Amino acid sequence: MGRPLLVRLPNWLGDLVQAWPVVQAAGLDRSRPALFLGPASFAALVGPRFASSEYISWSRARRFASAGEIRRRRPGTALLLTDSLSSAILTALAGIPERIGYAAEFRDLLLTRRVSRGIPSRAAPRVQEYLHLARAAGLEVEETLPSIEALQEDRDAAASLRRQAGIEGEPFAVLAPGATFGAAKRWEPAKFAALAAALHAREGARSVLVGAKEDSEPAREVARIAGACTVDLVGATDLPALVGLLDASILVASNDSGVMHLAAALRKPTVGVFGSTSPVWSAALAPWVRSLYAAYPCSPCFRRTCPIGYGCLRSIDATQAIGAAVELLGTARLPTSAS
């Protein structure tokens, strides 16, 4: 077996999910072991699914601290799924002889193989950008659509949360009204609340609100408006519990965030709302996903905040999300032979 392949994972959950076909190809490659490097929280998603691989945690605060740990494992190749200069510096400090990645952030001289995008960044699906890098590293990617299966421990963690929240045994949707990236990704809480009310009226399903602790303010506003048809679990889920909750839900509605991509990879009916970002670049491209996008003249700007009033988000009405949800739920109920 060859020397390990170090895969520097993306820093955002949504990007990790979009890179999942590459992660899977590396984790299942029998010709060389995989060594994954990424945020500590991702280990719970990656580690249990690729038992023969190793996971090294990385943090922004100590971004070069793992150089020695990497060097001791003697990887022969580093595949950089990030565009950052720091990731190239780290793999060079670790003495990895082959370093593959896109030329970006003035790191060209630190890469031994600089991959050309062929087209401008963000002009094609993010998934395709990752696949292009995988081919440069000699990985054979069989499945190009991100697909993740919930593990029993994920389901158990979610079941425990549902018991505590009083929603055990009843249908529920999942809403993710926050977005760590910034306000330009966050649809209005009142519209999420309208969707929650519609799902409760039509499906008898309460809506579980999820997200990081930083998302508590928009979640509280959704809960205030929608009332008893919501259950606020923002900040209460680690990654396994989130996977389990999404897997057990009837539908997921989310801003363009990690929750949206994770739900789509779990093959759940998913409604994604796009503001400053682009569905061309980062939408989950699957038949069980509907992406809502206003396509303003200034869109996509990829800004964290908007200086002119968030018109791209405000012009997406709650009725559009409700219609998309009704359509997806109707499709989900069709017999397999008719789908």
Question: Of 59-68, 121-130, 196-205, 316-325, which gets the smallest average pLDDT?
Answer: 121-130
- Measuring CA to CA, how many Å separate 85 from each of 90, 109, 132, 201, 241? 9, 10, 19, 50, 33
CA distance 135 to 124: 16
Q: Say yes or no to pLDDT of 142 above 90.
A: no
Is it true that domain 5-136 has CATH number 3.40.50.970? no
Q: What is the pLDDT of residues 144-201, one digit of tens each?
A: 899 999 999 999 999 999 999 999 999 999 999 998 888 889 999 999 999 999 999 9
Q: Which residues contact 88 (CB under 8 A, 6 or more apart)?
A: 80, 99, 101, 105, 107, 110, 111
Class of domain 166-338: alpha beta
Q: What is the pLDDT of residues 86-130, one digit of tens each?
A: 999 999 999 999 999 999 889 999 999 999 887 788 888 999 999
Residue 124 Rama label (left phi>0; alpha psi -120 to 50; beta) = beta
Calculated CA dihedral for residues 137, 142, 148, 149, nearest 10 degrees: -130
Phi, psi of 99 (to 5 degrees): -130, 115
Phi, psi of 119 (to 5 degrees): -130, 160
CA distance 109 to 265: 36
| H helix or E strand, kind and range, residue 52 | none
Query: What average pLDDT does range 201-222 have in this prediction?
Result: 95
185, burial (CB in 10 Å: exposed 0-12, middle 13-18, buried 19+): buried
Query: What average pLDDT does range 122-140 have in this prediction?
Result: 92
pLDDT confidence of residue 333: 64
Q: Say yes or no to pLDDT of 259 above 80.
A: yes
Question: How many CA atoms within 13 Å lie on the side-chain side of 13?
Answer: 26
Domains 5-136 and 166-338 share a fold: yes
Q: Say yes or no to pLDDT of 267 above 90.
A: yes
Q: What percent of the chain has pLDDT over 90?
A: 83
Cis amide bond preceding 300, omega within 30 = yes
Is the distance from CB of 86 to CB of 65 less than 8 angstroms? no
CA distance 24 to 287: 22
Is the distance from CB of 234 to CB of 222 less than 8 angstroms? no
pLDDT confidence of residue 338: 34
Query: Nearest-CA neighbor of 282 among 15, 5, 13?
Result: 15
Is the distance from CB of 172 to CB of 246 less than 8 angstroms? no
| Complete DSSP assignment for 190-226 | HHHHHHHHHHHHHH--EEEE---GGGHHHHHHHHHHH
Extents of the domains making up the chain: 5-136, 166-338
Helix (H, G, I), strand (E, B) or coil at 7: strand
